[in-house]
């Protein structure tokens, strides 16, 4: 407005003339006939004539062509944060469809009892009395639950069309999804229940936070030994790398063992929430051998054979023998024959037992129990076992 212009630019004169023009200072503005407000740039007095020189830059007059909007408040939903809940999983290493080894090792996945939970800082210590070490923060809330019930275990190399697993998710707002069989074979819908890694093709909501998982692939990534160990109350955690924080496998020079703790500190936690760390085993141990069998030679020699496995061979892209995922190939063969025992450390997946050795065992028993483990850099695999008549 003209009043605001006057306040900003100083003296404002309306069509100054005579003594008014004489009193109009340089720098002030006047109102021209067309409504413009030029500024006086020069004033000359020649005889009885006062001349005012004006610029051609009008004053800025801000006018709104629309009605003013006072704005509105966009407030975040008031959601309960709740307390932090977490579980440490010991993930095996595996290769995906592209042949790249995925992360393996201890990791923590966490969420909260309230839907407003977002993250928590993470600390870790080797024992309850050890000093705390800062690890980082949970990258994002994960999906967590507990096992309610499960059908009996099926074969690990076939899609189980009849089995089922019931899980109770942490909150009713958490959800699981379906995938096709092709997606299953590509590694989708992986989850860890206790020590077993499994996949599910169908997830059916049963009301509240209860879900039934069907079209299962059990004992994935070398965890078939845990298929029969499912019991109510075990932790259920879908494997989502974006929601998992890897834990260092060492504190100082010691590999993490049972007794280590992870502590979560979220906004809604009155005190840090302690999460026990299971003994790290699957992530550092080779896979157990498979197809342990035996042959008899004509001279009475017993030949034991087995097939090694590799964590770099789950996708089996070329159908050929998979590469070794340890620096060296070595096995521990243990044989129990009554009260006698025998152990060997072959460097290949076979061993021959001489007839004289078998004669000494037959004096005590007519059958022997055999266990074969692959020796890794940090740990030994679970055993492939067999009992044969000698």
> How large is the average pLDDT for residues 316-333?
82
288 within 8 A of 374, measured Cβ to Cβ = yes
Task: List C-alpha distances in Å: 187 to 143, 183, 239, 251, 255.
Answer: 18, 6, 10, 32, 29
User: What local confidence, expressed as pLDDT, does residue 214 receive?
Assistant: 97
| Strand pairing category for 12-14 and 29-31 | parallel
Question: Are 153 and 227 contacting, i.e. CB atoms less than 8 angstroms apart?
Answer: yes
End-to-end C-alpha distance for the chain, whole angstroms: 111
Is the separation of the CB atoms in 151 and 162 below 8 Å? yes
Local confidence band at 7 (pLDDT 50, 70, 90 cut-offs):
very low
Task: Residue 91: name the closest of 278, 325, 290 by CA.
Answer: 278
Tell me what the pLDDT averaged over the chain comes to: 83
pLDDT band at 8 (very low <50, low <70, confident <90, very high): very low
For residue 346, give every residue at least 6 positions away whose Cβ sits within 8 Å of its Cβ, in sequence order, or none: 330, 331, 333
pLDDT tops 80 at residue 9: no
| pLDDT above 90 for 22 | no
Cβ neighbours of residue 254 under 8 Å, at least 6 residues apart?
A: 126
Q: How far is 71 from 69, CA to CA, in rounded Å?
A: 5
Rounded to whole angstroms, the Cα distance separating 302 from 360 reads 14
| Tens-digit pLDDT profile for residues 205-216 | 999 899 999 999
**pTM of the predicted model as reported, rounded to 2 decimal places:** 0.72
- Can you give the pLDDT at residue 66? 59
**Calpha distance 205→371 (Å, rounded):** 43
Provide the greatest CA pair distance for the chain: 145
- Distance of alpha carbon 167 from alpha carbon 80, whole angstroms: 23
Enter the tokens of residue 303. 């030949």
Number of Cβ atoms within 10 Å of the Cβ of 198: 27
Nearest alpha carbon to residue 32 among 46, 48, 52, 50: 52
Per-residue pLDDT at 112 exceeds 90 = yes
Residue 2's pLDDT band, with cuts at 50, 70 and 90, is very low
- Residue 34 is predicted with a pLDDT of 64
Burial (CB count <10 Å: 0-12, 13-18, 19+), residue 249: middle
Q: Specify the pLDDT at position 258.
A: 64
Percentage, residues of the chain above pLDDT 90: 50
CA distances (Å), origin 148, targets 212, 326, 383: 10, 38, 30
């Amino acid at each position: 407005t003209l009043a605001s212009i006057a306040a900003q630019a100083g003296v404002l004169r309306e069509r100054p003339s005579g003594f008014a023009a004489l009193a109009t200072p340089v720098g002030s503005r006047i109102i021209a006939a067309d409504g413009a407000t030029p500024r006086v740039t020069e004033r000359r007095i020649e005889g009885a004539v006062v001349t005012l020189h004006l610029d051609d830059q009008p004053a800025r007059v801000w006018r709104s062509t629309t009605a003013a909007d006072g704005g509105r408040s966009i407030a975040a939903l008031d959601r309960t944060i709740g307390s932090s809940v977490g579980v440490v999983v010991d993930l095996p290493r595996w290769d995906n469809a592209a042949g790249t080894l995925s992360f393996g090792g201890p990791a923590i996945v966490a969420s909260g009892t309230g839907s407003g939970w977002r993250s928590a800082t993470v600390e870790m210590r080797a024992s309850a009395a050890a000093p705390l070490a800062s690890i980082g923060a949970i990258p994002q809330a994960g999906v967590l639950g507990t096992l309610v019930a499960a059908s009996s275990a099926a074969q690990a190399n076939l899609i189980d069309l009849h089995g089922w697993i019931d899980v109770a998710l942490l909150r009713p707002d958490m959800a699981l999804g379906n995938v096709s069989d092709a997606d299953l074979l590509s590694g989708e819908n992986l989850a860890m229940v206790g020590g077993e890694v499994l996949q599910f093709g169908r997830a059916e909501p049963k009301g509240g936070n209860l879900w039934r998982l069907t079209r299962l692939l059990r004992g994935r990534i070398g965890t078939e030994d845990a298929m029969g160990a499912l019991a109510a109350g075990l932790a259920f955690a879908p494997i989502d790398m974006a929601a998992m924080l890897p834990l260092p496998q060492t504190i100082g020079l010691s590999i993490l063992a049972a007794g280590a703790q992870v502590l979560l500190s979220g906004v809604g936690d009155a005190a840090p929430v302690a999460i026990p760390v299971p003994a790290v085993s699957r992530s550092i141990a080779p896979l157990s051998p498979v197809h342990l069998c035996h042959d008899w030679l004509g001279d009475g020699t017993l030949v034991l054979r087995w097939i090694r496995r590799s964590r770099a061979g789950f996708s089996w892209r070329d159908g050929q023998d998979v590469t070794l995922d340890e620096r060296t190939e070595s096995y521990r063969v243990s044989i129990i024959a009554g009260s006698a025992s025998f152990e060997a450390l072959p460097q290949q997946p076979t061993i021959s037992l001489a007839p004289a050795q078998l004669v000494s065992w037959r004096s005590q028993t007519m059958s022997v129990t055999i266990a074969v483990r692959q020796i890794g850099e940090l740990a030994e695999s679970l055993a492939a076992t067999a009992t044969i008549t000698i």
